[in-house]
Structure 1
Amino acid sequence: MATFRTDAARLAQDWGINLPGVTHYVGERGNAFDAAPVFSAVTAPNSGIPAVINTMVDPQLIRQLITPTKSEEIYGSQKKGDRAIKTVMFPVLESSGYAVAYGDYEQAGDSSANANWVSRQSFPFQTWAKYGDLEAEMMGMGNIDWIAEQRTAGASVLAKQANLINLFGVSGLENYGALNDPSLPAAITASLKTGTATAWTSTSDPNAVYNDFVTLFSDLNKAMMGNIDNQTRVKVVLPSELSPVLTYTNSFGITLEEMLKKSWPNMEIVFLPEAGVTMSGGYTSANVMQMFVPEVDGVETVTTAFTERLTMHRLEQYSTNARQKMSRGGWGTVWKRPMAVAQMVGI
């Protein structure tokens, strides 16, 4: 009678059948029929089902959070030219002259206009979306459209770069940012709060912070030579990290936000991560507040500008992978009326 021990070697060698843990055929060691049958296991002890059987993948894709890109939302956005245009010039006109007392034979008095052009240079930038056939198939098994995700990542990278250029410009070019344009007026320093500290976080008194708004508006009002008042639409840019300051409450239960709304009913307060030290990624060395008039005499005060938002170039197909260049271009931020903005640091 054949035994499993004598057959095991041939089963493995000739047929590739390997049965680890099996020691004998059923019945090889005899059966007892005079009592309830007792069956001995001939396989390895059960350790449960494979883990993959009771594992699932949630269908909702969770993307990692990144700092929001808010430059266009705050300062506006316009298309200027296209990617073949390298320089844009903005004409600036100014009237000049003087008048004297009238006389039939008086020759004095003169009026004239002056024209100047302010130039900006564009900056094109790019990234690549790349993917392989096998990796796309494997990601597909996890219900992830890998090709779409690579392109989404590329668009996100370009948007972040555009936001950075809109706020800080490009070194070496006539391409400036909303926070560092050399034509911006010099920033004034916030008032002292406690001791030698000027930071808003060094106090919980809304009146102390409110006074900084009064000071900055006074500075802006003087620069605008009477073209604004407390009813004028004004936009204030604050660091995102200081948004809790607006909840500061005085002894009458009135918050700082309510105090500001009462004094300047058309004031809009927006928050920009890069205006503060903590969230700027090292680009900002001090917390800054900007207060500006969005529009004067039908002309917008400031705008970001781009040549194109997104260009998807030719798809390059290789044997088992593909890649596609993605590009964008911008002019930075253009302050058309720098006198219509005031700045404060140390808040």
Structure 2
Amino acid sequence: MPIRFNTQEEARTAWASDRERAERLGVYSLATGYLYDGPRFDYTIAMDAQPGLSTDPNSAVPAMLTTLIDPDVFEILFSPTKAAEILGENRKGTWTDDTAMFPVVEHTGEASSYGDFAENGRAGANTNWPQRQSYLFQVMKEYGERELERAGLARINWVSEIDKAAATTLNRFTNLTYFYGVQGLQNYGLLNDPNLSAALTPATKAAGGTAWIAAGVIKATANEVYADIQALFWKLVAQSGGLVTQESKMTLALGPGSAVALTATNTYNVNVTDLLRKNFPNLRVVTAVQYGIRSASNPQGVVVGNLVQLIVDEIEGQDTGYCAYNEKMRAHKIIPATSSYKQKVTGGTWGAIIRMPMAIAQMLGV
């Protein structure tokens, strides 16, 4: 039962008598007395005069204080650029060159019967100078000081991201010119070079039509798909006069959707890829979206249908062709303004230089 004190004087006297003993026990206090039963104040009386809060009701902290920004920044992905992988890539000239000539030499000759005094028979050469025109293109990088600071608050290296965007834009446009060239110039691509032979039409399939795949389903059998590729190889043999053989290094270029048909399997549990690997040991398969049919999701595709190309990489040590540029990425000087910066970045392309069109066969509508 606690001790109660009625007056303040009783409480002080009691504490004065107990203080020395408390200090011996190690208890020190600045108090002058115990609590006593004196007048108490009811502070709820003042609260009754305040009917509501003078501020907006809130029991939380600002939402931004409980929001996490992940330090791992993910980039939006684009379709891969494959033209250089298909045909190879070389630099030709510099950004000051507008026109390039690619000399072609054809040997000529006529043999004649021998005679001690005969001077018949001739050996000669014929030259041509096909030309291509270059196309220069550019992008501008611009960023402000406050823009950089604000991006830094989100842990984003804004200058680095702008640099990547410029490089990506140039690279993707270059890749597009490698496939389609530049309209209005003597600048052509792998898919529209005027010297390419006309595209073959696929054979009619047992399921109807010529397509390998329809609505995401493989319609052609493994043997039908392989027969279409055989037709492409036969055309290469005919066009090259026998210079192309099964052992030649070749590239089968087609759209990613069409490539699914290479997994079709026949009744002997052999798929198209197995047949190609066995009969064309140096053949490689490369996919690019530009070979697929044009659509809203594939604006760079072929308008009239899926395309397949069978390309001989080289014949007797000479490359069939290559993608060519005269300027990959030229960064001009950074220009500072009052509180911002800008910089121009330039690229240049010759398109796809196809030196031996007879080493490419194509088929449209698979």
Distance in 2, Cα, partners of 1:166 & 1:116: 23
2:275 is matched with 259
Aligned-residue sequence identity (percent) comes to 35
Work out whether 1:127 is the aligned partner of 2:139. Answer: yes
What is the deviation of 1:188? 1.0
Closer, same or farther: CA 282–167 of 1 in aligned 2, 3 Å: closer
**Is this contact kept in 1: 2:255–2:289, CA < 8 A?**
yes
2:242 corresponds in structure 1 to 226
Shift of 1:260: 1.0
More displaced 10-residue stretch of structure 1: 99-108 or 240-249? 99-108
Aligned position for 1:275: 291
- Describe the superposition over 1:172-200 as per-residue Cα deviations: whole angstroms up to 9, x where unpaired: 11111011011111111111114651111
> Of 38, 48, 68, which aligns to 2:60?
48
2:291 paired with 1:291: no
Task: Provide the secondary structure at the position in 1 that maps to 2:192.
Answer: coil
* Among candidates 328, 332, 336, match of residue 317 of structure 1: 336
Q: Deviation at 1:48?
A: 2.2
Distance 2:330 2:342 in 1: 14
**Which residues of structure 1 form unaligned runs of 5+?**
1-25, 32-39
Partner SS, residue 339 of structure 1: helix
Once the two structures are superposed, the pairs formed by residues 157-168 of structure 1 within 5 Å of their partners are 157-168=169-180
Change (3 A) 1:297 1:53: same
- Is the Cα contact below 8 Å between 2:211 and 2:220 reproduced in 1? no
3-state secondary structure, aligned to 1:29: helix
Other-structure match for 2:260: 244
Between the aligned partners of 1:165 and 1:42, the Cα distance in structure 2 is 68
1:339 aligns with 2:358: yes
The worse-fitting range, judged by mean Cα deviation, of 313-322 and 101-110 is 101-110
Q: Which amino acid aligns with 1:121?
A: Q
* Residue in structure 1 matched with residue 95 of structure 2 by the alignment: 83
Q: Which amino acid aligns with 1:289?
A: V
Distance 1:42 1:129, change over 3 A: closer
What's the CA shift string for 1:25-55, capped at 9, x where partnerless? Answer: x948359xxxxxxxx9997544322212221
Aligned 1:189-228 pairs, distance under 5 A: 189-194=201-206, 197-202=209-214, 203-228=219-244
Shift of 1:283: 4.9
Aligned-partner Cα distance in 1 for 2:209–2:321: 32
Q: 2:323 is matched by which residue type in structure 1?
A: T
Distance in structure 2 (CA, Å) of the matches to 1:182 and 1:136: 48
Does the Cα contact within 8 Å between 2:291 and 2:301 map onto a contact in 1?
A: no
Indicate the residue corresponding to 1:182 in structure 2.
Answer: 194
Q: CA RMSD in A?
A: 2.1
* Amino acid paired to 1:281: P
TM-score (norm 2): 0.81
The equivalent of 1:156 in structure 2 is 168
Determine helix, strand or coil for the equivalent of 2:224: helix
Please give the alpha-carbon distance, in whole angstroms, between the structure 1 residues aligned to 2:329 and 2:229: 39
AA in 2 matched with 1:215: A
Q: Give the C-alpha shift of residue 60 in structure 1.
A: 1.0
Does residue 305 of the first structure (1) align with residue 317 of the second (2)?
Answer: no
**1:288 deviation in Å?**
1.1
Q: For the Cα contact (< 8 Å) 2:178–2:190, is it kept in 1?
A: yes
How far did residue 315 of structure 1 move? 1.1
Q: Secondary structure at the match of 1:212?
A: helix
Where 1:261 maps in the other structure, the secondary structure is helix
Which residue of the partner structure matches residue 71 of structure 1?
83
Superposition deviation, residue 266 in structure 1: 0.9
Equivalent position of 1:330 in the other structure: 349
CA distance in 1 between counterparts of 2:198 and 2:112 reads: 36
Matches within 5 A, 1:56-67: 56-67=68-79
Q: Please state how far the C-alpha of 1:274 moved relative to its aligned partner.
A: 0.4
Letter in 2 for 1:311: R
Distance 1:30 1:201, change over 3 A: closer
Matched, 1:29 2:42: no
Distance 1:28 1:44, change over 3 A: farther
2-side partners of 1:269 and 1:141: how far apart? 46
CA displacement at 1:97 relative to structure 2: 2.0
Greater Rg by CA? 2
1:152–1:282 Cα change, 3 Å: closer
Alignment length, in residue pairs? 315
The partner residue of 1:169 within 178, 181, 199 is: 181
- Match for 2:205: what amino acid? K
Matched residue, 2:4? none
Tell me by how many angstroms 1:128 deviates.
Answer: 0.6
